[in-house]
Structure 1
Amino acid sequence: MRRTAICTAALLAASAATAEPVEPTSVSYGEYGAVETSLSGNPGDPDRGREVFSTKSMGNCVSCHQVSGLDVPFQGEVGPMLDFVGEYRTPAELRGIVANAKNTFPETVMPSFYKTTGFIRPGDGFTGKAAEEPLPPLLSAQEIEDLVAFLMTLKDT
């Protein structure tokens, strides 16, 4: 019995490590924009999510949002403060907001981090020409899962 449990655990771990991410055009959004299933098929890493949140060349979330306990200078004031977001939002809600916030907040200026088509006027670098779709998403499926894991740690405990 013990041998079977060990083999089953090893198979589950191997299949999780090779999970295929959900393509940006295949994401299933709920009525209010929540995304119930993982985009990567793997759990998020809150430490890597903190890096995505605070690194300007990655998520750049810190340019618009503040987190009091984060030691990053020049945090933004455009979006809401996220100090306790893990208490009032579910992982599904946060995943949906990060992937495409316009499904939850139609008038938001927050970028869609997991979108590849349907843009209004994306530019092609500094050429002055329109970019051709599909464009790559701003964040990978795993980076979004990592970011959601980090945001879920932001609680009043």
Structure 2
Amino acid sequence: MTVLRFAAIAALLLTPAAWAETLPAAVDYDDYGSVAASLTGAPGDSENGRLLMATRAKGNCIACHAITDLEEFPFHGEVGPTLDGVADRWTEADLRGIVANAKRVFPETVMPAFYKSSGYIRPGDAFTGEAGAEPLPPLLTAQEVEDVVAYLVTLKEE
């Protein structure tokens, strides 16, 4: 029985998605802030990305951006630009870089870095780590970033 458990755990650990994940500090941004390579090596799930963008405890993109496709979710913001047609304005690599760390593309933006775990302090005691402690996990996982990007690339002008 122990051998079977070990084999099952080893199989999970050796899947491409498990060993291909890029850690936040190792993301390869180009000179313009784009990230060409997937953070996971696995395709994103656009339906999950759509939900993440409207989930207040996760992406919460609609707090700042209006998105016609997400009209059923209330309280769209106007701080950031509308995301309708965003796939016509940016490449997948551009969108991945913006979601991971928008400040590399727009230095003055108030948009949070969703895939960064050090080099800033998050507001609120629940989100700020202790001095000298391990870095906090990013706001989104690598797969969640890929899911959001998979959804964003579907947002084309009609």
The TM-score, its normalising length taken from structure 2, stands at 0.82
Give the Cα separation in 2 of the matches to 1:86 and 1:126.
31
- Distance between the aligned counterparts of 1:151 and 1:89, measured in 2? 10
Match of 1:143 in 2: 144
Q: How far 1:125 moved relative to its partner? A: 2.1
Match of 1:74 in 2: 75
Alignment-derived partner of residue 36 in structure 1: 36
Once the two structures are superposed, the pairs formed by residues 55-134 of structure 1 within 5 Å of their partners are: 55-70=55-70, 71-120=72-121, 123-125=124-126, 132-134=133-135
Identical-pair percentage = 56
CA shift in 2, pair 1:76/1:131, >3 Å: farther
Find runs of 4+ consecutive structure 1 residues off by over 6 angstroms.
none
User: How many residues are matched?
Assistant: 144
- Which shifted more, 132-141 or 101-110? 132-141
> Which consecutive residues of structure 1, in runs of 5 or more, have no partner in the other structure?
1-13
Q: What RMSD in Å do the two structures reach over aligned CA positions?
A: 2.3
**TM-superposition CA deviations, 1:20-70 (whole Å, max 9, x none):** 210000001011100000001100111000001011111011100011121
1:123 touches 1:130 (CA, 8 Å); kept in 2?
no
2: CA distance, partners of 1:152 / 1:105: 19
Aligned twin of 1:50: 50
Give the equivalent residue in structure 1 for 2:3.
none
